[in-house]
Copies of this chain bind each other. A is one copy, B any other.
């Protein structure tokens, strides 16, 4: 049996893989890819945005955002609107269909959380979240230093 810390890391990755696969099935049922769903999720949580700010938020190139927005305009999930004051920029906005999709995704996310952790007693789950939070903060700090 591997060390406890390696088992913890492998466990995180295994569970994350299962969750990701579940998300991909959700995406496929809606005919959307992970990259496009990321963009929709970003719009859903942060509101309408220029392509430049989307590129920064998603940490991809502006050229990449052009392609993703093209596809999402074609599929009817977003629209390009003129920026009110900067005529170089466009504002990408969710359509009704886009908002419905994001709402379904959020609901699916909550359902998954309940399915996964609903049976874990509250004190154990609270301790679990604590370890997760501490570890994430520690790691983020270490990565900034390096």
Contacts and interface: CB of A to CB of B under 8 A. Distances in A.
Nearest to A114: B5
Interface string A116-146: 1111101011111101111110111011000
Interface residues of A, number: 46
B132 A12 contact: yes
B128 A8 contact: yes
A139 B115 contact: yes
A131 B124 contact: yes
A8 B125 contact: yes
Highest count of chain B CB atoms <10 Å: which of A7, A116, A134:
A116
A16 B22 contact: no
Count identical subunits in the complex. 2
Interface in A1-34: 3-9, 11-16, 18-19, 21-22
Interface in A86-129: 109-110, 112-120, 122, 124-129
A5 B117 contact: yes
Contacts of A14: 136
Given A8-B125, A125-B5, A128-B8, A15 B139 contact: yes
A120 B132 contact: no
